[in-house]
Amino acid sequence: MVASKNIDVNKRLPDTRVDLCGITLDNPVIPASGCFGYGYEFAELYDINCLGSFSFKGTTLEPRFGNKTPRIAEAPAGVLNSVGLQNPGVSKVISHELPRLAEVFNKPVMANVSGFSIEEYVEVTRRLSESERADQIGWIEVNISCPNVHGGGMSFGTDADMAAEVVEATRKVTSKPLIIKLSPNVTDIAGIAKACEDAGADGVSLINTLMGMRIDKKTAMPILANTTGGLSGPAVFPVALRMVYQVYEAVKIPIVGMGGITTAEDVIEMMMAGATAVGVGAANLAEPYASKQIVEELPSVMAKYGIERLADIIGASHSHK
């Protein structure tokens, strides 16, 4: 009797591993670009190697100071941001940020590439892929969806043909898995995802923030200096879930699902909709330990729903149609 009880008690722990474009992650939790810096700030709080990976701050060819302030506005169940791709530029990322990151993170990282032209996307992708720090980079995440920069990435992400052009051009200069970050501010996100797949993308990530604004009722002026910004946080989760579900039906490449993820329960739901991995964004800004807590919660939530292997639930909601 004692032996059989021991067998029951020592059941195999739930398997949280997933495969993202040929790279195995210990778990699917990936802090999203722009919400985790270059990692080392969070490494002062906890060992960030508990994460599956993370996507570092959006990188452009030249340094960018970003938009004028105010850049942040609160919203019900979320936050609006109009930071404007503030970053030190690709050369400084390679020479300064990645060496510092290597001191605290020993897993492949996702490099987020932003641009204002196809040529800029190509050059930043090429430099990161060919740099002396290229071994640190597991995936190139090409952001064609930034809604908070005038004339920036979102114009590429709202048109299937233009999205395909970016994919085709960047595909030529990197052998890294190419993940395209899509805009939700479109009428047919599944069609754009399919165009990216056909053009050579290895994966897609979605959703980026939704366009929104707030008005100061005392001045009758927009709160954000840029007038509009990107809405993130729990308010966008149902929209993100719906879009991941639709894209999963349209493509065969993996999806990094994001938008309002705050708990391990959200991770399970997003993966059932079709995500292979899950990005955690605004939650990190509200609670610096959010991603760590989600990772720690995953095994018990998996047990709650009888899930032994997390990879088995990817797209599970589609099998019941």
SS3 of residue 253 by DSSP: coil
Contact 228, 267 (CB under 8 A): no
Strands 18-20 and 23-25: antiparallel
Instruction: Return the ∠ at Cα 284 (arms to 279 and 287), rounded to 5°.
Output: 140
Q: Which of 21, 35, 50, 146 is catalytic?
A: 146
Spatial distance between the Cα atoms of 105 and 54, rounded to a whole number of angstroms: 10
Contact 109, 160 (CB under 8 A): no
Terminal-residue alpha carbon distance, the chain: 44
Please list, residue by residue across 246-273, b when 16 or more beta carbons sit within 10 angstroms of its beta carbon and e when fewer do.
bbbebbebbbbbbbbbbbbebbbbbbbb
Going by C-beta distance under 8 Å and a sequence separation of 6 or more, which residues neighbour residue 11? none
Left, alpha or beta for 151 (phi > 0: left; psi -120 to 50: alpha)?
left
The strand pairing partners of 210, in sequence order, are 231
SS3 of residue 200 by DSSP: coil
Tokens of 303: 């047990």
146 has catalytic annotation: yes
Please list, residue by residue across 282-297, b when 16 or more beta carbons sit within 10 angstroms of its beta carbon and e when fewer do.
bbbbeeeebbbbbbee
Spatial distance between the Cα atoms of 274 and 243, rounded to a whole number of angstroms: 10
Spatial distance between the Cα atoms of 63 and 75, rounded to a whole number of angstroms: 29
SS3 of residue 12 by DSSP: coil
Active site residues: 146
